[in-house]
Amino acid sequence: MGKRLDGRVVIITGGARGMGAEEAELFRSEGAQVLIADVDEDGGRRVADRLGEGVAFQRLDVGDPAGWEAVVQTALDRFGKLDALVNNAGVYRRASLQETTPEIYEHHHRVNQLGVFLGLQAAMGPMRDGGGGAIVNVSSISGIRAFPDQAAYAMTKWAVRGLTKNAAVDLAPWGIRVNSLHPGFTDTEMIQENTPELNQAAIDGAPLRRAGQVGELARAALYLVSDESSFMTGSELVCDGGLTL
Ligand SMILES: NC(=O)c1ccc[n+]([C@@H]2O[C@H](COP(=O)([O-])OP(=O)(O)OC[C@H]3O[C@@H](n4cnc5c(N)ncnc54)[C@H](O)[C@@H]3O)[C@@H](O)[C@H]2O)c1
Is residue 164 within 8 A of residue 156, CB to CB? The reply is no
Listed by start position, the domains of the chain span: 9-239
Which atom of ligand 1 has the smallest separation from the CA of 157? 43
Ligand 1, atom 42: nearest CA belongs to which residue? 90
Check whether domain 9-239 has CATH 3.40.50.720, yes or no: yes
Which parts of 52-144 fold into alpha helices (H)?
A: 65-79, 102-108, 115-129
Give residue-wise pLDDT tens across range 194-231: 999 999 999 999 999 999 999 999 999 999 999 999 99
Ligand 1, atom 23: nearest CA belongs to which residue? 14
- % of residues, the chain, pLDDT over 70: 100
User: How much is the mean pLDDT over the chain?
Assistant: 98
Q: Is the pLDDT confidence value at 134 over 90? A: yes
Interval between CA 2 and ligand 1 midpoint (Å)? 31
* Neighbouring C-beta atoms of residue 31, cutoff 10 Å: 14
Q: Residue 182's beta-bridge partner residues?
A: 238
* Catalytic residue check, 153: yes
Side by side, which strands form the sheet with 176-183? 55-59, 33-38, 9-13, 84-87, 133-138, 176-183, 236-239
Pocket of ligand 1 (CB under 6 A): 13-14, 16-20, 38-40, 43, 60-63, 88-92, 111, 138, 140, 183, 185-186, 188-191
Give residue-wise pLDDT tens across range 60-81: 999 999 999 999 999 999 999 9
Which atom of ligand 1 has the smallest separation from the CA of 141? 6
Q: Is the pLDDT confidence value at 1 over 80? A: no
Interval between CA 111 and ligand 1 midpoint (Å)? 10
Give residue-wise pLDDT tens across range 30-51: 999 999 999 999 999 999 999 9
